[in-house]
Structure 1
Amino acid sequence: MREITLTQIFEHPIAQKYLKRSGVAHAVAVSYHAFRLAVQHQVNPDLATKAALLHDIGHYEWYTDGKWDYEKYKKNDIHAIKGAERAHKLLIRLGENPQAAKEIALAILLHTDSYLPDGELHQRPLQKVVRLADEADEEPGGNHHYREMDDQLALKKIQELDEKVAEFLNTEPFRQLG
């Protein structure tokens, strides 16, 4: 059972603020990758698409002399930490199941290891799906954050993805997972 939809998340003013900062087109694309990968890896697509949509809402704008500074970002950024906290708070506020909100927040926290000391990170399946979905949409120099997408098209794509998730949750293969 879905407590809240991607559309409800997407339309919330807090999500809008941070999605616009980190790139709506990237968030939508990663959500679609997450749906495909969730089905492939037998992970709950509701949790995966929500985590993917919100995975970069912790981004801070790293600028030097008014221009995006990718090197400063790579050196100093902890967006996954801030994003996990923002996402958890937003999801709880919207009425998401608390355990689902926690799983989504953990997937956001662990979607990148750029802020961790060197070493291997053991990820659970949901966390791995979100990381792979993000990697599938990356562009050199962080350019994936600057692709444009019209607000109406983004909303339409999110609504279509909501329908795909709902349909999949009603299939026999998903019921066997649960």
Structure 2
Amino acid sequence: MARVTLVEVFNHRITQKYLQRSGIHHAVTVAENALKLAVEENVSPDLAAKSALLHDMGHYEWYRDGKWDYAEYRKHDIHAIKGAERAHKLLIRLGEDRLVAKEVSLAVLLHTDSYLPFELNEKRTDLQEVVAEADALDEQPGGKHHYKEMDPSEAVKLLHVLDTKIEDHKL
């Protein structure tokens, strides 16, 4: 079975729909961070980069009185749950290996514990920890990291570079 590339994942209409909400710049930056961390931690760069690219695809917008209400969003946030399901369904549609789709989905689910009544300290797998750390490296107060802009064509170029690094790492 051929590896589903980051570019293929990014170009899918479902990914395009949801990354517009959470921020293409953030998704690509976290994928870059995850690839570097994965190599350092001896974790699959492919799984780490895919998980990182899709980690926030469960985000949604929470408006109150016509204005974005970040505090209210955080109070009701379940984006990791929604994102895990969307990521799994997307990868299966793209023909990804079922075990890869499952591992990516779990890493998306557990990249944050903001929706849980407990912390995930020392409960994550190495892959899940890499994705959580990669995300934390790009976070900014008030969710500002979700509003950095990146043209989709630039994202494709950067993801192509990551795909090449992933392939080179397999050799």
The bucket for the TM-score relative to the shorter chain is: over 0.9
What is the CA–CA distance in structure 2 between the aligned matches of 1:97 and 1:52, rounded to whole Å? 17
AA at the equivalent of 2:116: L
> What do you get for the CA RMSD once the two structures are aligned?
1.1
Q: Are the equivalent residues in 1 in contact too, given 2:34–2:48 (CA < 8 A)? A: yes
Q: CA deviation at 1:60?
A: 1.1
Are 1:12 and 2:37 an aligned pair? no
Determine the structure 1 residue equivalent to 2:32. Answer: 32
- How many residue pairs get aligned? The number is 170
Distance in 2, Cα, partners of 1:145 & 1:5: 23
Matched residue, 1:175: none
CA distance in 2, matches of 1:119, 1:20: 29
Give the CA deviation at 1:65.
2.2
Deviates more, 1:49-58 or 1:161-170: 161-170
2:109 paired residue number? 109
For residues 10-159 of structure 1, the aligned pairs below 5 Å read: 10-121=10-121, 122-159=123-160
Letter in 2 for 1:88: H
Q: CA deviation at 1:120?
A: 3.9
- Report the Cα offset of residue 169 of structure 1: 1.5
String of CA shifts for 1:114-158, please: whole Å, max 9, x gaps: 000034440000000000000000010000000001111111111
Deviation at 1:48, TM superposition (A): 0.3
Deviation (angstroms), 1:77: 0.6
Paired residues of 2:113 and 2:119 also in contact (CA < 8 A):
no
What secondary structure does 1:116 align onto? Answer: coil
TM-score by length of 1: 0.93
Instruction: Give the deviation of 1:2 after TM superposition.
Output: 5.0
Output the CA distance in 1 between the equivalents of 2:150 and 2:18. Answer: 15
Query: SS of the residue aligned with 1:149?
Result: coil
Q: Contact 1:2–1:46 at 8 Å: present in 2 too?
A: no
Distance 2:40 2:146 in 1: 26
Query: Identity over aligned residues, as a percent?
Result: 60
4+ residue stretches of structure 1 with deviation over 4 A?
none
| TM-score normalised by length of structure 2 | 0.96
* TM-fit CA distance, 1:3: 2.2
Gaps of 5+ in 1: 171-178
